[in-house]
Chains A and B, each alone.
Chain A
Amino acid sequence: MSTSTAAEQVIRAGQGEALLEVKGLQRYFPVTRGIVFQRQVGAVKAVDGIDLSIHTGETLGVVGESGCGKTTTGRLVTRLDEPTGGSITFEGEDLTHLSRAKMRPFRREIQMIFQDPFSSLNPRQTIGTIIAAPFQIQKVDSEGGTKKAVQALMERVGLNPEHYNRYPHEFSGGQRQRIGVARALALRPKLIVCDEPVSALDVSIQAQIVNLLEDLQDEFNLAYLFIAHDLSVIRHISDRVAVMYLGKVVEVADRDELYNHARHPYTHALLSAVPEADPDALAHRERIRLTGDVPSPLNPPSGCRFRTRCWKAQDICAEQEPPLVQIGAPGHQAACHFPEERDVI
């Protein structure tokens, strides 16, 4: 579809009033030694100063390799975890250090769907109880009673409402993920953080869940923070995409801008590593091969964190950390001393 309105274009470019605004977000996990007298010997810099914004009805994709801080970011945004620095603003309100009680009204607005549809559901609770939990916790009465509301939700996400009294183990992976979606949807949130919601599913089931999430977004004008390591899924579902590496956002842009005009070497490497399900296209693609693994977040490289694997690194890359700056189309930002376009997919 190429008929986007001016308003949509503003949203795509990540401008205008944001629903969620994250600034300098940081989460260090202390590493301690000693049994009686614990002393801190270092910190895992899981998330180290990131800026993100999400608008109403928009999907921001977050992609990056294992351990780069995606889940931690999601947990901070939903306030399941406490940031050690930075700020989180939702509809203009600063949530960063709100108490449990003050946080309660916002919990309705921001929900989360987890990667593992097996461990994220209590095996001893019925589906009805699981999906009804948000009503109970928030002390919300719904018209016609909770059961009716839950069954309507089950129907909406493609579950048989008659299975209200069944237990999670009686459902397949895809169905369990639908249960997670129904639970997240119960209180009509404005933002859902989806942490790898389809990574554990088979492709045919993955497509069902992706389609469901897209339908629900259209129907309820939901915003998603969609976390995944699969670049094809991210391209499909996102309006804008942020690429993370070792606790930092290294590039962020409108979806097609990112996939067609990426400027950061790490983004190039990621994109060129995806095996496309197209034998002929693969044969003609440029291959960038990184060597080695992601360094430890306990002791990240100085300057640019990608420099130990970057083929373009110069002295300055070890000395100065490249800031995330505007480059290319509106809303496109990259953190590299030597950004350039490159055709990789």
Chain B
Amino acid sequence: MTESVTTTASTSAGTGKPFLELKNLQVHFPTDDGLVKAVNGLSFTLERGKTLGIVGESGSGKSVSSLAIMGLHKGSRAKVGGEIWLDGAELVGMSVPEIRRLRGQQVAMIFQDPLSAMHPFYRVGDQLVEAYRVHNEVPKSVARKRAIDLLDRVGIPSPDKRFFDYPHQFSGGMRQRAMIAMALMCDPQLLIADEPTTALDVTVQAQILDLMMDLQKEFNSAIVIITHDLGVVAQMAQDVVVMYGGRVVEAGPVREIFYRPEMPYTWGLLGSIPRVNRGGDHRLKSIRGTPPSLINLPKGCPFQPRCDYQQHVEGHSCTGEVPDLLQIGTEDHRVRCHIETGQRKKLFTEQIKPNL
């Protein structure tokens, strides 16, 4: 299956190739219970200065995909297939030393849990300095100045003093900010943020998201933001990929996904969330059932066991054939569903939209 999702931006000047391109990425884990098919054919492109949001429920393969881009499955039992192109270089086939050179310098990652990225026994400042000196041959004093600068930029008060603190002396929000500072030490061109604000309060989340957008403007970096929070995606991303059961089920520009979604799972997601700017005593439109096991993926459409719209399918079998991810219209909007697109549009306008 070849499928791709392209950002709206034009390709990088000169090369004609996108800055980041995933082609049919697959990640499978052999386990005692069977083969866990965590990612099954993920494709997208992303340009510098742009943000791509990946949404989906827990276990849909979001984190596994981001670890693949970082080359962090290398040396594990994971079987990684497909291609990842970053600025002209292919990462899946790259050797460990090569990808290590890239990591931190060209690509950096922000995790949900800052403690997993920071060492508890070393001072925050020293960890930032180290992150810089791995890739840059500079005296310590230069690296230290840069670290204090960045701590200041991410809003750590009195950074020259807090430089000497250990991670546990920081609050959750401060640790998250320090991790962002660490990720930015080498001006990465690609930043992967996996649930960067999920553990934070809304006011701190807003600070962190603003910070990421400011830094993106300044460094023209590309950002992949992974989250289950549709609000975060609406705020941050120009393009959105919706994942379900390790597959892309819908993808496109953010407005298409929020205002003209065509895949029943995306409808379900949008209907499930309560809205802060709307009152009313209606019930939420929940999706029945639970996400699929990635060991025994349902045959046919991955969403089939939970889908209430199968009666609208003509000429295909939801239980028998996996629908292709097909482009609709001109806006680079792609949908994986057997219902015919005209019918999907009608269903959305008549049945879904009025209840959102």
Given A229-B201, A274-B231, A293-B171, are A204 and B269 neighbors across the interface (CB < 8 Å)?
A: yes
Question: Which stretch from B67-75, B126-134, B183-191, B272-280 is at the chain A interface?
Answer: B272-280
Which residue of chain A has the shortest Cβ distance to B291 in the bound complex? Answer: A202
Given A211-B283, A256-B279, are A174 and B234 neighbors across the interface (CB < 8 Å)?
A: no
A270 interface residue (CB < 8 Å to B): yes
Contacts of A208 in B (CB 8 A): 286-288
Bound CA span A1–B279, Å: 10
Contacts of A269 in B (CB 8 A): 203
Contacts of A274 in B (CB 8 A): 202, 231, 276
Are B283 and A214 in contact, CB atoms less than 8 angstroms apart? yes
Interface residues of B in 173-212 (CB under 8 A from A): 173-174, 201-207, 209-210
Interface 1/0 per residue, A232-256 and B, CB below 8 Å:
1101110000000000000000011
Bound CA span A281–B229, Å: 16
Bound CA span A280–B277, Å: 13
Are B277 and A207 in contact, CB atoms less than 8 angstroms apart? no
Which residue of chain A has the shortest Cβ distance to B155 in the bound complex? Answer: A291
A9 interface residue (CB < 8 Å to B): no
| Least Cβ–Cβ distance between B296 and chain A, in angstroms | 15
Which residue of chain A has the shortest Cβ distance to B207 in the bound complex? Answer: A289
Which residue of chain A has the shortest Cβ distance to B236 in the bound complex? Answer: A275
User: How many B residues, CB 8 Å from partner?
Assistant: 51
Bound CA span A234–B277, Å: 12
A231 interface residue (CB < 8 Å to B): yes
Interface 1/0 per residue, B219-239 and A, CB below 8 Å:
000000000111111110000
Bound CA span A189–B269, Å: 33
Interface residues of A in 253-310 (CB under 8 A from B): 255-256, 259, 269-282, 287, 289-294
Interface centre among A202, A206, A237, A280, by most chain B C-beta atoms within 10 angstroms, is A202
Are A255 and B283 in contact, CB atoms less than 8 angstroms apart? no
Interface 1/0 per residue, B159-171 and A, CB below 8 Å:
0000000000001
Bound CA span A293–B206, Å: 12
Interface centre among A203, A255, A270, by most chain B C-beta atoms within 10 angstroms, is A203
A205 interface residue (CB < 8 Å to B): yes
| Least Cβ–Cβ distance between A183 and chain B, in angstroms | 20
Given A202-B58, A277-B234, are A293 and B268 neighbors across the interface (CB < 8 Å)?
A: no
Bound CA span A52–B276, Å: 23
B84 interface residue (CB < 8 Å to A): no
From B174, B228, B229, B254, give the contact of A275 (CB < 8 A).
B229
Are B230 and A277 in contact, CB atoms less than 8 angstroms apart? yes
B49 interface residue (CB < 8 Å to A): no
Bound CA span A232–B276, Å: 4
A172 interface residue (CB < 8 Å to B): yes
Are B274 and A232 in contact, CB atoms less than 8 angstroms apart? yes
Bound CA span A172–B278, Å: 30
Are A66 and B201 in contact, CB atoms less than 8 angstroms apart? yes
Bound CA span A197–B272, Å: 16
Given A204-B269, A211-B286, A275-B209, are A281 and B230 neighbors across the interface (CB < 8 Å)?
A: no
Contacts of A109 in B (CB 8 A): none
A210 interface residue (CB < 8 Å to B): yes
Which residue of chain B has the shortest Cβ distance to A158 in the bound complex? Answer: B288
Contacts of B271 in A (CB 8 A): 207
Bound CA span A308–B258, Å: 38
Are A277 and B284 in contact, CB atoms less than 8 angstroms apart? no
Are A282 and B276 in contact, CB atoms less than 8 angstroms apart? no
Are B276 and A279 in contact, CB atoms less than 8 angstroms apart? no
Contacts of A205 in B (CB 8 A): 57, 286, 290
A82 interface residue (CB < 8 Å to B): no
Bound CA span A19–B169, Å: 43
| Least Cβ–Cβ distance between A72 and chain B, in angstroms | 17
Contacts of B259 in A (CB 8 A): 280
Are A290 and B276 in contact, CB atoms less than 8 angstroms apart? no
Are B286 and A275 in contact, CB atoms less than 8 angstroms apart? no
From A65, A203, A233, A345, give the contact of B57 (CB < 8 A).
A203
Contacts of B88 in A (CB 8 A): none
Are A235 and B274 in contact, CB atoms less than 8 angstroms apart? yes
Are A291 and B207 in contact, CB atoms less than 8 angstroms apart? yes
Are B232 and A293 in contact, CB atoms less than 8 angstroms apart? no
Ordered nearest first, which 8 A-B pairs have the shortest CB separation? A275-B231, A236-B274, A207-B286, A277-B230, A204-B287, A207-B272, A273-B206, A207-B284
- Some 15 contacts from A to B, beta carbons below 8 A apart, are A172-B290, A202-B291, A203-B230, A204-B286, A211-B283, A273-B203, A273-B206, A274-B276, A276-B234, A278-B234, A279-B234, A279-B254, A280-B259, A289-B207, A345-B276
Interface residues of A (CB under 8 A from B): 1, 65-66, 172, 174-175, 202-208, 210-211, 214, 229, 231-233, 235-237, 255-256, 259, 269-282, 287, 289-294, 345
In the complex, besides A272-B206, A278-B234, 7 extra interface pairs with C-beta distance below 8 angstroms are A204-B57, A207-B286, A232-B276, A277-B233, A277-B234, A277-B270, A289-B203
